[in-house]
């Protein structure tokens, strides 16, 4: 019989298997009976979860090593070491202290996080677990669990490791599990025990089990598991059963609706799938970061050339000995004896050290902080909070905030992203007869279904009933019979408020609910029997034999059931393209026509077919399936083959139509994205007609859009080459005609998966490799919207990659909600996940997750725009303020004999970037709003102003650098001419070099802070506080620093310098003068640019301002009038 044939299959398989990457688990640590198999003792890690990175002992070395791997930190370390080793102008403290600060703060942060992880690990590792030992339940700690232990898990407990379900308290050997903490899916999933063990009820029974499990070595895919259990009974051949993902309970998941289960540990500790999934994704880097690095290299070059110039000049200047060593300033003997080359090299290093502040440590810290803190504004955003879902936007990485403002291409999924993925059954069509449920659904009256109940009126009994039964049986829907369900509620309140349908696919729920409204109610799955309440209120029972699960490649699913009359029936439902080729009879034409009509209306269609299996056919199918399921290697592929063999020779029953409504404001969002200059591509697995209808509805295509089709249908008529060239010609002609006209016709392209792969396929005909690719890209470039339908998940990623690699290197964004979008989300520069109904995989793998598609608008147009201008200013300003800071030092070298004498005191050198000028820019980069949020949202075209990294391009960078140099020259030579040979005080006393430096430094601090103040368009009280506060802090610090003889310092060079300076009138006057002069050019540039050629953003600012003013004026006039009337009244 079936069983023995299975065994045979298994034994055949055994020989072929490659046992290297599989493991054998001895349940209950019992060795297999002698002779059956060799006992292979294997060592597995214990069940200790170690998510922490460090231990107490290796924290310092490991953390330091990791921190100094960053190039910036390493650079500062080198500078610091140079300062320690050679005699340099500034004390090691100046670079050591900031570096120490940065390193310490980071280390403390990481240490704290690690300590939290340790604590969490500890509590997890020490939580109690019940283990069956010698027929008794023994309580132990989680980390003591070993592979092979039999574990008891009770309801609402979390699984301590990856387990194979042996038996559950439910009689059918199933248990329900939520994997919310793993993948966020809140639906209950059913797991199955193998039939041989599901009957175990007590510990003793479980303990008596003598079996081994062979399974693959751990791998991170949560949804894949292949294994086999060999059960030894007395003196019999062992019984082998296949194990799959449906038997594997994952660590981190929670047991629900089941009193308790017995299960055996197969993967423990760091080998559990959850632990393997901790691995972080590859790092994405933003365009801003790249330009920042480019600027850094420029500054490094400037730094080195400055040092070289000064070194060369130094030795040229020192040529005469009375300059090198005048009588008043001798070298030490040591120095004199040093070789001139070494001396020159030391001088070079000393200059490097003197000027090293041009690349500031604090920039990295500030950028990191800006990104980290700034990303909170996304998750705090109330407008991106979805009441229904109870969740707001999520930020998974803060590295890409500013990239949101740079997006040029948006790739969006259709189902669940553009549309609600909230399916509603519309109609079904059996043999050309259309059935529309008349009932009221979810409180909404279906407009189309104006109460015609066609079931009784129409003829065609058997086929029709079979169709309804097919839809009632061919699914993986679960029935929840409780009042409250943790998952998403999808109940039908038809006198039975207590039952809900739950499924990972909303289509299925819609279909089953639709059937219910048409009279066939799916009741439950009980003991492997599916129960249906038919329209005569009789219960029909079908034995569920096999489920051929849905996958996105096959695009269909099937069930094999045995009816009460003993017939074997295979029901299959799937996309029309995957059903029609397999259909041998049935009213194909009528159904096809209806399906196409529905698709044009934007409905999702599924076709249903069946096949009656004879006993032998069933056996054969069974055989195929078992063979595939038992395979340890390539199981997926074998299963697909088996499915392919089984799912054929169908009889077509009919088709269904389900509506998936557009998401709220999807059209508005797409329109805004278009206006913002983004190109929107829809990538969907749906069929062309459905997708095109959705595209029209969502205004991706407008009525005026000229549609270019690049589909299989067309390429069958002409060859691909001709079609491509023709389209290209059309596009180019149009462009040359329209030329300057504003309202030029826009193009929309529709391409399907098959054609796409033909386009992307490397050209064999030697007519130029990748030729089509270029033409295709050229066409796409001229299309404002592209629809790619019939796409496989991997093709989605391919498209994104193709655009990414095109010669303009545009910034791409992919948005999707399902597992099939993950590949493109990972591929695109920015990946956005919709917290959809198809699970959380997209959201988990994305960089940002939002509840609804409409939130994309605010995300890009408002947040993205803000983040971009903020960080652009941050980067430019940082370079600017350090040019201002260091260039005077460079100039000073010409007046101090190139002796590397610093202009500023050590404290100023150290604190300039850390405290005097750090907070205002950090705050600016957190709260700046150059235009109001409303304006940004109202005028999406403002987004074009910042496109292509416009604020960080070389001309802008050059402007900032020149401004910095100009300011530095003003500071230095201003102070030089004021100081030159005159007295500054009214008591005739003279100032020294430290006063000179302090004067320049004061002007510097005020100028760079005020420059930022001039750039600030959004003055909240915090801005006022921080900008004026940091200036005040500078003054107070200087007073304090110069006010005391600091006992720990071995020099008192700053003593009373600042106060003496402030007591001098000319110093005040020159500070004011120099600040004014250095701010002047920037103000003039701003005003002139705004007046002569205002950008759209600047126009918007002015407009806003005028509107506010008008409002204000009206208010004032009203107020005055009121006042007048009051006055006149009182007068009267």
Q: Which of residues 429-488 bind another protein (CB under 8 A)?
A: none
Question: What separation, in Å, do the N-terminal and C-terminal C-alpha atoms of the chain show?
Answer: 113
Candidate list 331, 489, 761, 953; residue touching another protein; CB under 8 A = 331
Distance CA 812, CA 795 (A): 16
Distance CA 605, CA 608 (A): 10
State the minimum distance, in angstroms, from the CB of residue 321 to another protein.
10
State the minimum distance, in angstroms, from the CB of residue 909 to another protein.
14
DSSP secondary structure string for all residues of 973-1002: HHHHHHHTT---STT-----HHHHHHHHHH
Report the site for another protein in 78-107 (rule: CB under 8 A).
89
Candidate list 547, 784, 1090, 1095; residue touching another protein; CB under 8 A = 1090
Q: Which two tokens stand for residue 425?
A: 């059954």
Binding residue count for another protein, defined by CB under 8 A: 106
Report the site for another protein in 341-400 (rule: CB under 8 A).
376-377, 379-383, 385, 387, 389-392
Closest C-alpha among 435, 434, 436 to residue 448? 436
Report the site for another protein in 851-870 (rule: CB under 8 A).
866
State the minimum distance, in angstroms, from the CB of residue 341 to another protein.
20
Structure letter (DSSP) for residue 586: S
Candidate list 1040, 1102, 1122, 1124; residue touching another protein; CB under 8 A = 1102
Q: Does residue 333 belong to the site contacting another protein (CB under 8 A)?
A: yes
Q: Does residue 1018 belong to the site contacting another protein (CB under 8 A)?
A: yes
Report the site for another protein in 981-1010 (rule: CB under 8 A).
981-993, 995-997
Q: Please, what is the Cα angle at 505 between 499 and 511, to 5 degrees?
A: 65
Known binding residues for Mg(2+): 413, 415, 817, 821
Per the CB < 8 A criterion, the answer to whether 817 and 836 are in contact is yes
Stretch that binds another protein, among 364-372, 432-440, 1104-1112, 1117-1125 (CB under 8 A): 1104-1112
Q: Does residue 53 belong to the site contacting another protein (CB under 8 A)?
A: no
Q: Does residue 1109 belong to the site contacting another protein (CB under 8 A)?
A: yes
Known binding residues: 413-415, 508, 550, 573, 604, 684-686, 790, 796, 817, 820-821
Contacts of residue 1127, Cβ cutoff 8 Å, sequence gap at least 6: none
Q: Does residue 1105 belong to the site contacting another protein (CB under 8 A)?
A: yes
Stretch that binds another protein, among 515-523, 541-549, 788-796, 979-987 (CB under 8 A): 979-987
Distance CA 524, CA 526 (A): 6
Closest C-alpha among 346, 227, 472, 418 to residue 834? 418
Report the site for another protein in 231-290 (rule: CB under 8 A).
none
Q: Which is nearer to another protein, 1021 or 1132 (CB)?
A: 1021
State the minimum distance, in angstroms, from the CB of residue 901 to another protein.
4
Structure letter (DSSP) for residue 763: P
Contact characters 301-330, another protein, x per CB under 8 A: ---------------------xx--xxxxx
Catalytic residue among 196, 207, 399, 413: 413
Q: Which is nearer to another protein, 130 or 1082 (CB)?
A: 1082
Helix (H/G/I), strand (E/B), else coil: 662: strand
Known binding residues for ATP: 413-415, 508, 550, 573, 604, 684-686, 790, 796, 820-821
Q: Does residue 1101 belong to the site contacting another protein (CB under 8 A)?
A: yes
Q: Which is nearer to another protein, 81 or 1108 (CB)?
A: 1108
Q: Does residue 1084 belong to the site contacting another protein (CB under 8 A)?
A: yes
Q: Which is nearer to another protein, 498 or 1107 (CB)?
A: 1107
Distance CA 761, CA 567 (A): 47
Candidate list 373, 1112, 1118, 1122; residue touching another protein; CB under 8 A = 1112
Q: Which residue spans within 847-915 are E strands per DSSP?
A: 848-850
Per the CB < 8 A criterion, the answer to whether 573 and 556 are in contact is yes
Candidate list 1080, 1116, 1117, 1118; residue touching another protein; CB under 8 A = 1080
State the minimum distance, in angstroms, from the CB of residue 636 to another protein.
38
Candidate list 447, 1050, 1128, 1130; residue touching another protein; CB under 8 A = 1050
Q: Which is nearer to another protein, 328 or 1132 (CB)?
A: 328
Distance CA 905, CA 894 (A): 18
Q: Which two tokens stand for residue 891?
A: 């100039």
Per the CB < 8 A criterion, the answer to whether 63 and 54 are in contact is yes
Q: Does residue 673 belong to the site contacting another protein (CB under 8 A)?
A: no
Report the site for another protein in 1052-1071 (rule: CB under 8 A).
1052-1053, 1055-1056, 1060, 1064-1066, 1069-1070
Residue 1076 C-beta-side C-alpha neighbours within 13 Å = 6
Q: Does residue 1092 belong to the site contacting another protein (CB under 8 A)?
A: yes
Q: Which is nearer to another protein, 333 or 536 (CB)?
A: 333
Stretch that binds another protein, among 667-675, 789-797, 815-823, 1044-1052 (CB under 8 A): 1044-1052
Report the site for another protein in 922-961 (rule: CB under 8 A).
927, 929, 932-933
Q: What are phi and psi of 426, to 5 degrees?
A: -105, -55
Candidate list 100, 112, 345, 895; residue touching another protein; CB under 8 A = 895
Q: Which two tokens stand for residue 698?
A: 């969502």
Report the site for another protein in 591-650 (rule: CB under 8 A).
none
Angle between helices 92-125 and 59-68 (to 10 degrees): 120
State the minimum distance, in angstroms, from the CB of residue 1055 to another protein.
5
Per the CB < 8 A criterion, the answer to whether 956 and 1048 are in contact is no
Candidate list 655, 978, 1004, 1026; residue touching another protein; CB under 8 A = 978
Query: How many other C-beta atoms can be found within 10 angstroms of the C-beta atom of residue 346?
Result: 18
Q: Which is nearer to another protein, 13 or 933 (CB)?
A: 933
**Residue pointed to by tokens 């402030």:** 1062
Parallel, antiparallel or unpaired: strands 150-154 and 260-267: antiparallel
Which contacts (CB < 8 Å, 24+ apart) does range 485-489 have? Answer: 485/188, 486/178, 486/186, 486/188, 486/256, 487/178, 487/186, 487/187, 487/188, 488/186, 488/187, 488/837
Report the site for another protein in 805-844 (rule: CB under 8 A).
none
The residues with which 150 forms a beta bridge, in sequence order, are 132, 264
Q: Please, what is the Cα angle at 382 between 377 and 384, to 5 degrees?
A: 85
Closest C-alpha among 408, 412, 403 to residue 375? 403
DSSP secondary structure string for all residues of 335-388: HHHS-HHHHHHHHHHHHHHHHGGGS-HHHHHHHHHHHHHHTHHHHH-GGG-BTT
Per the CB < 8 A criterion, the answer to whether 138 and 131 are in contact is yes
Structure letter (DSSP) for residue 846: S
Report the site for another protein in 700-719 (rule: CB under 8 A).
none
**Residue pointed to by tokens 């059209």:** 667
Q: Does residue 1083 belong to the site contacting another protein (CB under 8 A)?
A: yes
Q: Is 413 a catalytic residue?
A: yes
State the minimum distance, in angstroms, from the CB of residue 76 to another protein.
22
Q: Which is nearer to another protein, 412 or 995 (CB)?
A: 995
Q: Return the active site residues.
A: 413
């Amino acid at each position: 019989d079936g069983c023995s044939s299975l065994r045979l299959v298994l034994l055949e398989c055994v020989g072929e298997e490659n046992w290297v990457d599989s493991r054998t688990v001895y349940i209950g640590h019992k060795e297999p009976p002698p002779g059956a198999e060799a006992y292979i003792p294997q060592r597995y890690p214990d069940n200790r979860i170690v998510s922490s990175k460090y231990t107490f002992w290796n924290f310092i070395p490991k953390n330091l090593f990791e921190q100094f791997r960053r190039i910036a930190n390493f650079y500062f370390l080198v500078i610091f070491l140079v300062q320690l080793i050679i005699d340099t102008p500034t004390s090691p403290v100046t670079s050591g202290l900031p570096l120490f600060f940065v390193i310490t703060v980071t280390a403390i942060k990481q240490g704290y996080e690690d300590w939290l992880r340790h604590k969490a690990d500890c509590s997890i590792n020490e939580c109690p677990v019940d283990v069956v030992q010698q027929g008794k339940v023994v309580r132990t700690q989680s980390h003591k669990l070993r592979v092979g232990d039999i574990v008891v898990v009770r309801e609402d407990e979390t699984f301590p490791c990856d387990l194979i379900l042996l038996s559950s308290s439910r009689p059918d050997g199933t248990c329900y599990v939520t994997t919310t903490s793993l993948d966020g899916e809140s639906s209950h999933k059913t797991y199955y025990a193998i039939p041989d063990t599901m009957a175990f009820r007590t510990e003793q029974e479980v303990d008596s089990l003598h079996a081994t499990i062979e399974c693959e070595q751990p791998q991170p895919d949560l949804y894949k598991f292949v294994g086999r259990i060999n059960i030894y009974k007395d003196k019999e051949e062992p019984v082998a059963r296949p194990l799959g993902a449906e038997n594997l309970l994952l660590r981190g998941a929670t047991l629900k609706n089941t009193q308790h289960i017995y299960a055996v540990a197969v993967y423990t500790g760091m080998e559990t799938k959850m632990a393997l999934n901790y691995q972080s994704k590859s790092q994405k880097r933003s365009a801003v970061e790249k330009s920042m690095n480019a600027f850094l290299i420029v500054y490094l070059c400037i730094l080195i050339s400055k040092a070289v110039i000064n070194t060369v000049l130094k030795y040229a200047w020192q040529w005469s000995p009375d300059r090198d060593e005048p009588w008043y300033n001798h070298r030490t003997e040591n120095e004199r004896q040093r070789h001139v080359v070494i001396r020159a090299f030391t001088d070079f290093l000393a200059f490097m050290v003197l000027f090293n502040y041009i690349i500031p440590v604090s920039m990295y810290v500030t950028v990191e902080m800006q990104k980290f803190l700034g990303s909170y504004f996304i998750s705090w955003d109330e407008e991106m909070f979805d009441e229904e879902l109870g969740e707001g936007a999520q930020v998974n990485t803060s590295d890409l905030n500013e990239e949101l403002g740079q997006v040029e291409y948006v790739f969006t999924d259709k189902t669940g992203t553009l549309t609600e993925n909230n399916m509603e059954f519309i109609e079904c069509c059996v043999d050309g007869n259309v059935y529309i449920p008349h009932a009221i659904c979810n409180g909404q009256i279906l407009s189309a279904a104006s109460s015609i109940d066609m079931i009784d009126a129409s003829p065609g009994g058997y086929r029709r009933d079979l169709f309804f039964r097919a839809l009632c049986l061919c699914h993986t829907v679960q029935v929840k019979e409780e009042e409250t369900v943790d998952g998403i509620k999808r109940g039908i309140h038809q006198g039975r408020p207590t039952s809900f349908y739950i499924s990972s696919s909303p289509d299925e729920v819609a279909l089953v609910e639709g059937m219910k409204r048409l009279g066939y109610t799916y009741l439950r799955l009980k003991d492997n029997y599916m129960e249906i309440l038919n329209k005569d209120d009789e219960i029909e029972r079908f034995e569920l034999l096999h489920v051929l699960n849905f996958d996105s490649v096959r695009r269909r699913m099937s069930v094999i059931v045995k009816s009460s009359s003993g017939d074997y029936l295979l029901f299959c439902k799937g996309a029309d393209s995957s059903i029609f080729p397999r259909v041998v009879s049935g009213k194909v034409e009528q159904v096809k026509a209806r399906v196409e009509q529905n698709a044009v209306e934007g409905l999702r269609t599924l076709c249903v077919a069946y096949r009656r299996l004879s006993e032998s056919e069933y056996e054969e199918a069974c055989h195929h399936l078992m063979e595939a399921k038992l395979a340890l290697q390539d199981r997926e592929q074998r299963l697909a083959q088996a499915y392919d063999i089984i799912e054929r020779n169908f009889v077509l029953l009919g088709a269904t139509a389900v509506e998936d409504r557009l998401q709220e404001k999807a059209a508005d969002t797409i329109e805004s994205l278009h206006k913002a200059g983004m190109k929107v591509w829809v990538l969907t697995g749906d069929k062309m007609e459905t997708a095109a209808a959705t595209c029209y509805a969502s205004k991706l295509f407008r009525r005026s859009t000229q549609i270019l089709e690049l589909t299989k249908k067309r390429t069958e008529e002409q060859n691909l080459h001709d079609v491509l060239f023709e389209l290209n010609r059309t596009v180019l002609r149009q462009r040359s005609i329209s030329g300057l006209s504003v309202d030029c016709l826009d193009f929309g392209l529709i391409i399907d998966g098959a054609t796409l792969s033909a386009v992307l396929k490397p050209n064999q005909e030697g007519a130029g490799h990748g030729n089509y690719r270029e033409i295709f890209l050229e066409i796409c470039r001229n299309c404002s919207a592209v629809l790619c339908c019939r796409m496989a998940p991997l093709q989605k990623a391919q498209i994104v990659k193709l655009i990414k690699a095109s010669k303009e290197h545009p910034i791409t964004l992919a948005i999707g909600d399902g597992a099939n979008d993950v590949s493109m989300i990972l591929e695109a520069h920015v990946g956005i996940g919709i917290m959809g109904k198809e699970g959380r995989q997209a959201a988990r793998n994305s960089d940002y997750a939002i509840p609804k598609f409409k939130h994309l608008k605010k995300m890009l147009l408002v947040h993205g725009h803000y983040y971009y201008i903020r960080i652009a200013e941050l980067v430019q300003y940082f370079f600017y303020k350090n040019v201002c800071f260091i260039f005077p030092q460079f100039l000073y070298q010409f007046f101090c004999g190139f002796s590397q004498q610093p202009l500023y005191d050590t404290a100023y050198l150290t604190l300039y970037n850390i405290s005097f000028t750090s907070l205002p820019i950090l705050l600016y980069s957190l709260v700046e709003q150059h235009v109001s949020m409303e304006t940004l949202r109202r005028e999406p075209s403002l987004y074009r102003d910042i496109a292509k990294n416009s604020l960080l391009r070389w001309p802008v960078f050059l402007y900032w650098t020149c401004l910095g140099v100009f300011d530095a020259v003003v500071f230095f030579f201003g102070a030089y001419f004021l100081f030159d040979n005159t007295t500054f005080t009214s008591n005739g006393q003279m100032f020294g070099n430290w006063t000179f430096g302090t004067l320049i430094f004061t002007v510097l601090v005020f100028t760079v802070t005020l420059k930022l103040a001039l750039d600030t368009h959004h003055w909240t009280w915090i801005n006022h506080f921080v900008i004026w506060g940091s200036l005040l802090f500078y003054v107070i610090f200087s007073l304090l620093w110069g006010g005391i003889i600091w006992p720990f310092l071995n020099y008192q060079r700053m003593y009373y310098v600042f106060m003496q300076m402030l007591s001098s009138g000319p110093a005040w006057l020159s500070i004011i003068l120099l600040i004014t002069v250095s701010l002047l050019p920037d103000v003039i540039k701003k005003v002139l640019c705004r007046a002569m050629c205002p950008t759209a953003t600047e126009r918007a600012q002015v407009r806003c301002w005028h509107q506010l003013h008008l409002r204000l004026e009206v208010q004032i006039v009203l107020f005055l009038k009121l006042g007048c009337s009051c006055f006149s009244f009182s007068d009267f």
